Amino acid sequence: MKILKLKKSMFKKIATSITMVALVLITSFGPQLAEALAITASKDTATRLQISTNADHVFSFTMPTAIDFDVTTQHDGFHFDFPASFVASGTWANADFAFTDSNGSHTIEGTTQGAGTITCTSTTAQNVCVAFDTTNNIFTVKPSTTYTSSSTASAVTFTILGTGAGGTLLNPASVASTNIDIQMCDEVAACFTAFTTSHSSQIAFGVIDDDTVAVTASVNSSITFDLDTAGSNDSTCDTDETSGAGGYTIALGSITTADSRISGATDTINLICVDLDTNAGGGAIITVQNANGASGLVSTSTPADDIDTNDGVAVTAGTENYGLCVVTFTGGLDDEGGYNGDTCAANSATNVVQSMSAVTPETIFDTDGAPIAGGRGSIAVNASVAVSQASHNDYTDAITFLATATF
């Protein structure tokens, strides 16, 4: 009996030793799982953070050191896992996504969606496809079968356009901080049947009740109009303008049949200058009218004697004529009506003049229906007389300019 007990004891020890050795062997030679590494520098740049508001999401991150995105052994893949509090709707299309890695931007093709869908098909080199799992709120990115490997530790961006006409992605309805997971399936055969997370990162995403501050302001309607005369040496109203505190005067001097009188240095006669600024949406016009109408320059002592206007006719020495013409216009100001396109220059003895009305203001400049800043125009005064013109030293006219804006 003692011998039998000894043998049982020895048998137990031997069996235990064999079991331990077997366990060691199994542990030593079993398959080794890849070490899970961290995806770094991950962030989600969203276009909106307001509750219950559609938003675009741009994910950017850096893959782990020594890890690339490829199809060398098995298809790698990325998961972008949104919590159930995000509401995805509509039909997602290729145009709703963008993907870049160290090889640059990749065309999206083969987008698909459905309950539990985590795989898709992309056949063109360097393209990727996107699958959306409508049950679990997961977007999967899968490379094509001929995809060129990215560099290791590649920077990656994945864009989801959640505000377009296709798919939409609505922020959670309650103010809270939630987490979005970025997961990488790396060199695993079942990546797109039962996704295995090899490397990952988690992004905190906070939504707020309102992400917009409304700023209001008002801008008063404004118009600035200035009327000046320019010195006779200034042919474009750019220098030597005179203030009108004491009234403006254009002194034509003595007009003879041999010498028509024109604004400019030759006859030492001033130009008329106008400046206009307005924020009126409909722009502005400048009109002109005179005291004597077509009678032009009228003698104060003998009103029956006048220097009439020949509308649209050039001023010529020895011929009765009087009127205005537009020399220059800049800054968005444009000459209008009969003044448009007429021959006119400072010191010119052949300017074509326009008559004025004593009753109805006539447009001489406008801003073409738009606001204007720095509009400027210069106007020449012209006069000539015939041999029969009565002699007086008191021929006068009064010209009125008005600026009117449409707000």
Q: What is the distance between the alpha carbons of residues 330 and 373, in angstroms, rounded to a whole number?
A: 10
Does residue 395 share a domain with residue 272?
yes
Print the domain residue range for 91: 37-207
The pair of structure tokens assigned to 193 is 């049947």
Is the domain of 229 the same as that of 194? no
Which mean pLDDT values do the consecutive 10-residue runs of the chain (407 residues) have? 41 39 33 67 97 98 94 91 97 97 96 96 94 97 94 97 95 96 91 88 96 93 93 68 71 95 92 95 97 97 96 95 96 94 91 95 96 96 97 97 96
Q: What is the CATH number of the domain that holds 167?
A: 2.60.40.290
274 and 235 within one domain: yes
Give me the residue label for tokens 């032009």. Answer: 296
pLDDT at 35: 62
**Strand 155-160, strand 57-62: pairing:** antiparallel
* 18 inside domain: no
Q: Is residue 386 part of a domain?
A: yes
Classify residue 29: in a domain, yes or no.
no
DSSP string of 224-251?
EEEEEEE-TT-SSSSS-EE--TT-----
Domain closes at, from 172, 207, 242 = 207
Instruction: Answer yes or no: are the C-beta atoms of 310 and 351 closer than 8 Å.
Output: no
Residue 282 counted as domain residue: yes
Q: Identify whether 124 is part of a domain.
A: yes
Q: Are residues 243 and 337 in the same domain?
A: yes
Residues 191 and 305 in one domain: no
Geometric angle at alpha carbon 213, from 208 and 219, rounded to 5°: 170
pLDDT at 194 (0 to 100): 84
Are 154 and 49 in a shared domain?
Answer: yes
Judgement on whether residues 194 and 227 belong to the same structural domain of the protein: no
Question: Of 178, 207, 236, which one is at a domain's C-terminal end?
Answer: 207
- Shared domain for 162 and 272, answered yes or no, is no
Calculate the average pLDDT of the chain: 89
Same domain, 184 and 229: no
Domain shared by 152 and 262, yes or no: no
Domain finish residue from 176, 207, 238: 207
CATH number of the domain encompassing residue 334:
2.60.40
Q: Distance between CA atoms of 362 and 335, rounded to whole angstroms?
A: 12
Question: 384 in a domain, yes or no?
Answer: yes
* Model confidence pLDDT, tens digit, residues 179-234: 999 999 998 888 898 888 899 999 999 999 999 999 999 999 999 999 998 876 66
> 294 — alpha (psi -120 to 50), left (phi > 0) or beta?
alpha
Q: 177 and 242 share a domain? A: no
The closest of 230, 200, 210 to 52, measured between CA atoms, is 210
Is 14 inside any structural domain? no
In a domain, 44, yes or no: yes
Q: How far apart are CA 285 and CA 287, in angstroms?
A: 6
The answer to whether 87 and 53 are in contact (CB under 8 A) is no
Domain tally for the chain?
Answer: 2
On the 0-12 / 13-18 / 19+ scale of CB atoms within 10 A, 251 is: exposed
DSSP 256: B
Are residues 122 and 52 located together in one domain of the fold? yes
What is the pLDDT at residue 234?
65
pLDDT, residue 8, reads 42
